[in-house]
Every structure is written in C-alpha cells, then in structure tokens.
Amino acid sequence: MIWTTLGAALLFAVPAVEIVGEPVMFAPGIASTAHSEIRLTISPDGRTALWFSRDRPGGAGGYDIWMSHRSLSGWSTATPVSFNSPGRDFDPAFSRDGRFVYFCSDRPGGSGKDDLYRVAMTRAGFGTPENLGPEVNSAASEFAPMLSPDGRLLLFSSDRSGGAGRHDLYTARTRAGGFAAAMPLAGSINTEADEFDATFLEDSRTLVFARAPSMQDNRIDLFAATATDGRHDAGVILPLAVNDPVGNSYGPMLDWSAPGWLTFSGRRGGAASMDLYRITYRLTARQGGR
C-alpha cells in the first residue's frame, strides 16, 4: 500500500524502527476479548493496564476506558475506570512518571467534538479530569494524546483547519501551567491522508503512527518516522509482524514498563474485532539532531 503522493519518499526512506520477534496478545479473555479493545497503555511500574473499548458492555457510555491490575497471579478482571462519562472516553496514555493519564472525551464543557484531557493518579485512584485548554483543543476533534518520554512535547492528532489534509499530527510544548499553542509536525509526515494515533518511542523523536487515505473507508496501517533537525520524514510502513494484510492496525503506544516494547491494536488473522498486542522493537541508527 503506497500512494502516488508518498511513493518516492517511502521507497527511499531508511526504516527508523526494526521490529523484533512476533506479536504477543495481551491478557486474552481479560483485556483482549470478543469486543474491540484499542490503545493499551501500561504504567511505569507495570502494575496497571488501561485501554478503551467502543463496544464492551458494562461501562458508563459504550466508549469507555477499562483497567486491569497485575499481581503475582496475573492480570485482574477488567473494570471501567471511575472517570468515564456517558459520552465517548478513549485513547488513554500514562505519562512516563505515572502521575497522569492523558485521554480523549466528548464530555460536556469541551472546546468542540473530542477534546484532550488528563487525570491525576492518586493513592485513592483517579482525581478529577482536567481539560488541556484552548492552546491544545479546538472546535474540531483531537485524538490520542501522548506526552513524550522527556516530558517536553504533547503529541496528538487533529482534523482542525491548517493541516496538510484530513487528520494530521501535532505537538504542543509543555510550559509552566500548561502548554504552548499546538503546531503541526514539521516535515513530510503529514499528508492529504489521515495521520493519527501516534506514539513517541524511547528517544522522544521517533514516532509510530497510523495512516490511511481515509480511516473510515480504507485499511489502516502503522508506520514509523523519525525527526532530523526537527523535521519528521514521511515514514516507512512497518512489517507484517505489526500490520495485517487485511485487518486494521492502529492505537500504538510505548510500553512505559519496558521501553523496548511497543503496544498496538490489530484485527489480525481474520479476527472479528480489534485485540491488544505487545511486540519488541529496536531503534536504527539515524543521522541528524532533534
């Protein structure tokens, strides 16, 4: 799958990521079930897993974030998190220090359709969700927030005006009390297609992200891209250990408990729904600075 406008860039690009081994389904029957489970994020201590489902019964609104805890006996029965709303709550992502969970929601009080939020982790569980504000959110939809490993950049996607096409990838620099105004990623990574569901890898400059001509109408694949002098290349499609020849692959996330691992969601091998997977990767040597 290479589109005309991306052909030359993708053909001659050097892969930023080497996928190692085969995907391992995460917590079958607990997290990966007959329902669609998407965007697995694991806490830095490896004891808490969050993901979302758009059709798993038992939550507050249908689109809900779910949680499981790990003990010596394995992963616990999944339960919906306390901060779910009657609307859409999705795309959870722990921060590297484990203090916050970033997520998306269309709950009342936002700037537009789907907004970005964060909620603090406390000894008692979760705090009160806070909207990330107008420097990040818009009247359009914002998806898949993720704070870089070095804590400097908030990465997300949006279909707001001013991008290269449909959904594009954006970052907003952290500053005291919040974030600076969000900007599209520089370089050739954003195209007329949908670019969304991105994660930083452990170097804070290499990304794994989802791309499709249309996320509603076409198969979605995962790509990897890296930045040279602050500009991201167009990216290279990841191998079949991650992408499926027929089913969608999206929702990638760096595993904070084991940074050489990547999590993602896929409808693999003819499965009827999206499941959660983990796989190991290595960064390849690249030229240039951040």
The enclosing domain of 58 has a CATH number of 2.120.10.30
Is residue 77 a part of any domain in this protein? yes
Run of H or E including 124: none
**Do residues 41 and 47 touch, judged by C-beta distance below 8 A?**
no
Paired with 84 in beta bridges are: none
Q: Residue 130 is part of which domain span?
A: 4-283
pTM above 0.85, yes or no: yes
| pLDDT digit string, tens, across residues 158-187 | 999 988 989 999 999 999 889 999 999 999
Q: What is the mean pLDDT of residues 24-37?
A: 98
| pLDDT digit string, tens, across residues 6-21 | 444 444 456 689 999 9
Would you report the helix, strand and coil content of the chain in percent, each value rounded to 5? 5, 45, 50
Is residue 10 a part of any domain in this protein? yes
Is residue 238 a part of any domain in this protein? yes
Quick one: how far is CA 104 from the chain centroid? 11
Residue 12 phi, psi (nearest 5): -105, 0
Distance between CA atoms of residues 136 and 239, nearest Å: 33
Is residue 288 a part of any domain in this protein? no
Asked which of 11-25, 132-146, 158-172, 222-236 is least confident by mean pLDDT, the reply is 11-25
Cβ-based burial of 98 (10 A; exposed 0-12, middle 13-18, buried ≥19): middle
Paired with 236 in beta bridges are: 224
Is residue 289 a part of any domain in this protein? no
For tokens 């400097």, the residue is 152
Enter the tokens of residue 90. 């999705």
Task: Tell me which residue of 16, 6, 11, 91 sits closest to 282, measured CA to CA.
Answer: 16
Is residue 216 a part of any domain in this protein? yes
SS3 161: coil
DSSP assignment string, 38-69: EEEEE-TTS-EEEEEESS-TTSSSSBEEEEEE
Confidence (pLDDT) at 287 = 43
Residues 6+ apart with CB under 8 A from 245: none
| pLDDT digit string, tens, across residues 76-117 | 999 999 999 999 999 999 999 999 999 999 999 999 899 999
Residues 6+ apart with CB under 8 A from 123: none
Identity (one letter) of the amino acid at 161? S
**Do residues 11 and 55 touch, judged by C-beta distance below 8 A?**
no
Q: Average pLDDT, whole number, for the chain?
A: 93
Instruction: Give me the sheet containing 249-254, strands edge to edge.
Output: 17-25, 275-283, 261-266, 249-254
- Number of independent structural domains in the chain: 1
Q: What is the mean pLDDT of residues 272-281?
A: 97
**CA gyration radius for the chain?**
18
**Do residues 199 and 253 touch, judged by C-beta distance below 8 A?**
yes
